[in-house]
């Protein structure tokens, strides 16, 4: 799907090439230091604040938020701000997610009101996205104090383009995530952060999509949910959805969009590419799995079967060990279908790995040569699970399951289960 | 729930004490060596065959089988044999699961017919339970040849009581699983094998329940499913159900059962204890989690929420690291409820760890002392994930979640996620 990238330099050039901001957008950045109330210590912690600012307010903006039933204050606030007439900008901070805190909403509003006066807009035109530790309070005073430089930066800072933004919203990410398309004479550029979840939700998934193409507000709001559900809702690293995930799309409306269909396709492609970037950057991910389930009775069923396989610890560990263990594919699919009363027809199920048939007609289709070949394939798709920077490659393990009971399909992106994953998630405090 | 066992000797004595066979039962054992067709090698593999034989046929027997949609031939065969008038015995083999093989049913029947002629019963009175590698053929000739000694053993072999049986059906298990009750002047004794799944389903869960208490066939068949669903169906090590899991219950009918209710309670207790043994023996299990969900809208909902938490890799790794990471409890419950349209009320949810409240009223209830205390508690509940024999203790990590939206509850038994789990499951071929 993407061009093969072989070196950090190449990847950086690629990002610069992608990193054009659509007209009418600016981004600002400021780093502040604070002492968390919750820690009885004098050591300061650094917090990144980023700002996405429009030159003029727009009425064309949309948002999709986590379905987690313990949403953070920023999610609650942004959801309600979708009702506003117009949108001017969003402030993004890391370090503290502002979740499960009684004063969460006040704190977020306090930050935004001081931003509103500096920007010279109504508070209702601003949003906030926070990611980091759950259960801590935002350092409201320090954040308010830092907003001036944030706004100035957005006006002056030349080199802080989309690539800079993608870099600066990173938390546990090991590389910036940026995708862009030229379409209908305009631009869609999107940045994302997310790398699986370590520490209490330190790596929430955030995505900001910017375009200068003019669409009716309701058209954009119709397109975004399906773009998200076929991309970010089809990835599974920890099988958990964080309390703060959000995707925001905004248009500066400076260019007419002649072809809504083309726009929607580009939007979906960008979301899918960013979703894959997030999986590839998953904590301790050594392999990206692309599980395509076809011949299902519904798209939802196809997605659920794919997730069952991609979330099976037995499948994940086998892939981590470069072991083409088809018995585990079969078992996880059979288990899910049995528990969900899906009328699976063993004789009709066909499973492929790397395009090669490994299960058909109710039996395995394997021989020792094929197993060697597939094991080598898995090894070739592997990455160093200790992500030190840009990904070595963008290969995925291709698993195809044809259920043979319907005509719907879905693709799930998942990760394997490595020692590094356990290390990151079990040992980080010890 | 169980008495604290502190040494291997104690555990062995305990097993001997438990290990009384109900009247009317015999068990036999024989070890054979064979060369698997599927391997181009001359090295012989050992296979254990065990036999549970009744002195006389009985009409009082029941079975519950895996819901996996790719069931093995033994499961298919036993299911159909439930229709038989009477039951005489069951042959259990390891090494080969006889799953996904075109000749699977023939092969199983061939083994049983040679057993029938030696025992002097009808083939329809016999069952077979197989566990081991998926996709290989049973060594029918060798197995048929070994049956004579199996049957003789069942007649003569004195010391092969239930404890011997429990030991001999082990595959990857590190300790024998045997539970027994005296009830209504009779005995219920059950053995199980299972230790999570490593290698293609090498560790299927099998359970054989024997009693001399006389119940109407339909009464036993009414009791078994609910006993299984509140025990074996409430454990989750890999979250996968194997293709060969089965629970068989048989009565020799030699003693009148005066109190059906008492029998049912004892049956449920035994199943629950064996289920916990299986989790404790789980591959790479360092902690057993006991997740009790109450205040749910239905028992099924309570069980599903408990499984969502017990299967969350983030929760499992936190427990493995002795980290009372309540943020992950909250996130996994919130995620499940959001994805399944459960109307969770964050303000009403109450979460306890080791009996201590850690989340209530929508916020965390934590301080650094409590975190230290809980971390020490987790450490104390820990076991060496490299199981070398009998368990060091029978402690569990107690997690209680009160949803506050209904009056139903369920308890899920789960395991943590350790380096040893990954090693066993990812590296065993490398």
pLDDT tens track for B292-324: 999 999 999 999 999 999 988 889 999 999 999
pLDDT of B199 higher than 70: no
Which among B134, B313, B346 has the least Cβ separation from residue A239?
B313
Residue B204 a catalytic site member? yes
Q: Residue B339: its pLDDT value, please?
A: 84
Instruction: Provide mean pLDDT across the span B251-264.
Output: 97
The verdict on a CB contact (< 8 Å) between A238 and B314 is: yes
Higher pLDDT, B353 or B385: B353
Sign of CA dihedral A65, A70, A73, A76: positive
Looking at residue B197, its pLDDT comes to: 53
Which residue is closest to B283 within chain A, CA to CA? A314
Chain A residues closer than 8 Å to B71 by CB: 334
Residue A315: which pLDDT band, with cuts at 50, 70 and 90? very high
Task: Return the structure tokens found at A420.
Answer: 């590094």
pLDDT at A9 over 90: no
C-alpha span between A80 and A123 (Å, rounded): 12
Predicted confidence (pLDDT) at residue B372 exceeds the cutoff of 80: yes
The verdict on a CB contact (< 8 Å) between B318 and A366 is no
Give the pLDDT of residue B427: 61
Res. A19 pLDDT band, cuts 50 70 90 = confident
Q: How far apart are CA A251 and CA A58, in angstroms?
A: 7
- Which tokens hold the place of A395? 């290969």
Report pLDDT digits (tens) over B60-111: 999 999 888 888 899 999 999 999 999 999 999 988 888 888 899 999 999 9
The pLDDT mean for chain B works out to: 89
| Distance (Å, whole) CA A93 – CA B167 | 58
Across the interface, of A71, A337, A426, the residue whose CB is closest to B320 is A426
Paired tokens of A109: 């509003």
pLDDT, tens digit (0-9, with 9 covering 90-100), for A32-86: 999 888 776 778 889 999 999 999 999 999 999 988 888 889 999 999 999 999 9
Which of the following is catalytic: A58, A172, A189, A204? A204
Please give the residue that has the higher pLDDT: either B14 or A350: A350
Q: Taking 50 as the threshold, does the pLDDT of residue A200 lie above it?
A: no
Which domains does chain A carry?
8-280 (3.60.70.12), 288-426 (3.10.20.340)
Whether B253 shows a pLDDT value over 70: the answer reads yes
Q: Is ipTM > 0.90 here?
A: no
The yes-or-no verdict on residue A330 having pLDDT over 50 is yes
Size of interface A-B (CB pairs under 8 A): 210
> Is a pLDDT exceeding 80 seen at residue A198?
no
What pLDDT does B42 receive? 77
- CB–CB of B325 and A364 under 8 A? no
- Tell if the CB–CB gap between B335 and A240 is shorter than 8 Å: yes
B3 CB-contact burial (10 Å; exposed 0-12 / middle 13-18 / buried 19+): exposed
Say what the pLDDT of residue B387 is. 80
Query: Of all residues in chain B, what percent carry a pLDDT higher than 70?
Result: 93
Chain A interface, best mutation among B104, B425, B429, by max A CB count within 10 A: B425
- Identify the residue among B103, B245, B313 best suited for mutation to test binding to A, counting A beta carbons within 10 A and taking the highest: B313
Q: Which two tokens stand for residue A371?
A: 């197993």
Contact list, A423 vs chain B (CB under 8 Å): 419
Q: What pLDDT shows up at residue B2?
A: 47
pLDDT at A201 over 50: no
Query: Is A419's CB within 8 Å of B419's CB?
Result: yes
Model confidence pTM above 0.95: no
Say what percent of chain B tops pLDDT 90.
61
CA angle A161, A166, A168 (to 5 degrees): 95
Tokens representing residue A307 in the block: 């997730």
Catalytic residue of the set B171, B204, B236, B418 = B204
- State whether B69 and A418 contact (CB < 8 Å): no
Please answer whether residues A90 and A248 qualify as being in contact, where contact means their C-beta atoms are separated by less than 8 angstroms: yes
Pick from A334, A350, A404, A417 the residue to mutate for testing the B interface (most B CBs within 10 Å): A334
Minimal Cα–Cα distance from A309 to chain B, Å?
10
Option in A200, A338, A366 nearest B325 (CB):
A200
* Distance of residue B5 Cα from the nearest chain A Cα, in angstroms: 28
Decide if A67 and B240 are in contact by the 8 Å CB cutoff: no
d(CA B152, CA A252): 86
- Sign for the CA dihedral angle at A172, A173, A176, A180 comes to negative
Query: pLDDT per residue over A33-46, tens digit each?
Result: 998 887 767 788 89
Whole-number Å distance between alpha carbons of A23 and B242: 56
DSSP classification of residue B233: G
Cross-chain residue pair B427–A318, CB shorter than 8 Å: no
Closest partner CB to B338 (pick from A241, A318, A423): A241
CB contact under 8 A, A335 and B241: yes
Residues of A in contact with B70 (CB under 8 A): 330-331, 333-334, 344, 346, 362
């Amino acid at each position: 799907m993407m061009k093969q990238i072989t070196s950090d330099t190449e990847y950086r050039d690629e990002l610069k090439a992608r990193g054009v901001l659509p007209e009418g957008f600016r981004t600002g950045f400021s780093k502040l230091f604070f002492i968390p109330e919750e820690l009885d210590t004098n050591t300061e912690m650094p917090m990144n604040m980023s700002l996405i600012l429009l030159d003029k307010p727009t009425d064309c903006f949309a948002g999709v938020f986590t379905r987690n039933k313990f949403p953070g204050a920023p999610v609650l606030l942004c959801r309600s701000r979708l009702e506003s007439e117009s949108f001017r900008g969003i402030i993004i901070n890391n370090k503290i997610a502002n979740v499960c805190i009684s004063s969460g909403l006040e704190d977020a509003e306090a930050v935004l009101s001081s931003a509103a006066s500096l920007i010279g807009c109504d508070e209702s035109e601003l949003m906030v996205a926070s990611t980091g530790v759950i259960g801590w309070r935002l350092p409201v005073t320090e954040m308010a104090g830092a907003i001036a430089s944030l706004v100035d930066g957005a006006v002056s800072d030349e080199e802080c383009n989309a690539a800079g933004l993608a870099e600066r919203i990173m938390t546990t990410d090991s590389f910036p995530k940026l995708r862009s398309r030229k379409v209908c004479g305009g631009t869609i550029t999107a940045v994302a952060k997310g790398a699986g979840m370590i520490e209490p939700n330190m790596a929430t998934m955030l995505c900001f999509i910017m375009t200068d193409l003019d669409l009716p507000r309701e058209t954009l709001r119709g397109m975004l949910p399906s773009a998200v559900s076929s991309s970010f809702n089809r990835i599974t690293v920890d099988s958990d959805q964080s309390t703060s995930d959000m995707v925001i799309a905004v248009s500066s409306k400076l260019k007419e969009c002649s072809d809504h269909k083309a726009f929607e396709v580009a939007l979906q492609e960008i979301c899918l590419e960013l979703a894959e970037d997030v999986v590839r950057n998953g904590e301790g991910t050594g392999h990206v799995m692309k599980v395509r389930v076809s011949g299902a009775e519904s798209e939802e069923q196809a997605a659920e079967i794919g997730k069952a396989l991609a979330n099976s610890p037995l499948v994940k560990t086998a892939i981590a060990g470069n072991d083409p263990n088809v018995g585990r594919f079969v078992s996880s699919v059979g288990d899910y279908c049995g528990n969900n009363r899906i009328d699976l027809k063993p004789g009709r199920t066909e499973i492929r790995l790397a395009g090669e048939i490994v299960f058909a007609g109710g039996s395995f289709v394997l021989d020792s040569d094929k197993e060697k070949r597939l094991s080598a394939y898995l090894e070739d798709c592997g990455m160093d699970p200790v992500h030190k920077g840009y990904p070595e490659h963008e290969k995925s393990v291709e698993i195809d399951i044809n259920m043979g009971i319907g005509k719907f399909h879905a693709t799930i992106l998942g990760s394997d289960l490595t020692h590094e994953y356990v290390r990151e998630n079990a040992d980080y405090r010890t």
